[in-house]
Structure 1
Amino acid sequence: MKLLGISGTIIGSKTKVVVEKVLEEVRANHPDIEVELLDLKKYDVQFCDGRNPSTYEGDTKKVIDIVTSADFYIIGTPIFQGSITGALKNLFDLVPPNDFRNKVMGLVATGGTYQHYLVMENQLKPIASYFRAFVAPGSVYAHNDHFNPQNELIDEEVLQRISMLSEEVVFMQKALKSTEQEPQLN
């Protein structure tokens, strides 16, 4: 099984730090799971223009292939102006919705106000629902205050939620894989 962590931004580093922490927990506690990080900052991804995803080339094709090859995800985004990043939305637009179907998603966000955690509930969960993905019950929101000046997570409660999220996504993915039949959702 392959877990893909997505740092859905092309600026800043806090989101990547949180996504990497979740991946580290999975790697440490579940060595049987392949773990990969997709940092959108490292790719020159084209804007989605509605064409068939198989016709994209270069970095855009690479990113689509990386996302579609994963079995489950940790999706991370900073919150800008009360919303997910354009880079993450573009990624969701590029990947065919069926490639997320019946896959587990764990949600992570970072932001500068304590109210921005609601973006996970009001934007990311509905997107996952549209994809018919399974969302882990817990999530992780890290405020700027949860980091030290070196951008290291220092808040014990956030670190505990990271640990819990890592276990939830693995538990859900293994439970889904253990069933012989995937649900036929129309």
Structure 2
Amino acid sequence: MKLLGIAGTVIGAKTSIVVQSVLDEVKKTAPEIEVELLDLREHRMSLCDGRDPATYTDDTKKVIDKVSSADFYLIGTPIFQGSMTGALKNLFDHIQPQVLRHKVMGFVANGGTYQHYLVIENQLKPIAGFFRAYVAPGSVYVHADHFNSQNEISDEDVLRRINELARELVHMQKALKPAGETISHNR
């Protein structure tokens, strides 16, 4: 079973720190689960224009294949202008809906105002609904104040929520997809 953590931004480190923190907790909770971080800062992707992914000359096809091969997801984004990043939206545009159908998703976000946590509820969860994915009930929003001067998450409540989200993801994945079970994407 493979959990893919997606840091959906091309700038800044905080999003990948939060995503990696959840992945680390998953490894503590369920060491048998393979975890991987897909950090969009490390990949060049073309804007989605509807063409065959094999024709892109950058990392686009490789990223699509990585997303398609995962069993479940942790998706993170910083909040800019009250919304997810264009890089994350572009990634969603590249993914065929049937790839994410009936797969478990969890969400984390970070930003500079305390109200931006609503982006998870009002934008990210509806996208998961479009894909007909299963969504972990909890999520984690991390404000810039929750990081210390070494860019580490230092807020105990945030660390507790990271642990809870990791446990929810594992629990949902194991309950919905017992080992060896697959669901056809032809529905």
TM-score range, shorter chain: over 0.9
Q: Is the 8 A contact 2:101 2:185 kept in 1?
A: no
Q: Is the 8 A contact 1:53 1:95 kept in 2?
A: no
Alignment correspondent of 2:150: 150
**Distance across 2 between alignment mates of 1:164 and 1:85:** 25
The alpha-carbon deviation at position 20 of structure 1 amounts to 0.3
Stretches of structure 1 that go unaligned for 5 or more consecutive residues are none
Distance 1:185 1:96, change over 3 A: closer
The alpha-carbon deviation at position 55 of structure 1 amounts to 3.7
SS at match of 1:58: coil
Alignment correspondent of 2:44: 44
Q: Is residue 2:119 matched to residue 1:124?
A: no
Distance 1:134 1:54, change over 3 A: farther
Q: Is the 8 A contact 2:53 2:60 kept in 1?
A: no
Q: TM-score, normalized by length of structure 1?
A: 0.95
Distance 1:146 1:177, change over 3 A: same
**Distance across 2 between alignment mates of 1:13 and 1:151:** 8
The alpha-carbon deviation at position 58 of structure 1 amounts to 3.5
Residues 116-174 of structure 1: per-residue CA shift (max 9 Å, x gap)? 00000000011000000011000000000100111100000000000000000111011
Alignment correspondent of 2:63: 63
Overall identity of the aligned pairs, in %: 67
The alpha-carbon deviation at position 51 of structure 1 amounts to 1.7
The alpha-carbon deviation at position 29 of structure 1 amounts to 1.8
Alignment correspondent of 1:136: 136
Q: Is the 8 A contact 1:53 1:96 kept in 2?
A: no
Distance 1:98 1:141, change over 3 A: same
The alpha-carbon deviation at position 182 of structure 1 amounts to 4.8
Q: TM-score, normalized by length of structure 2?
A: 0.94
Count of matched residue pairs: 186
Alignment correspondent of 2:162: 162
Q: Is the 8 A contact 2:75 2:106 kept in 1?
A: yes
Q: Is the 8 A contact 2:46 2:58 kept in 1?
A: no
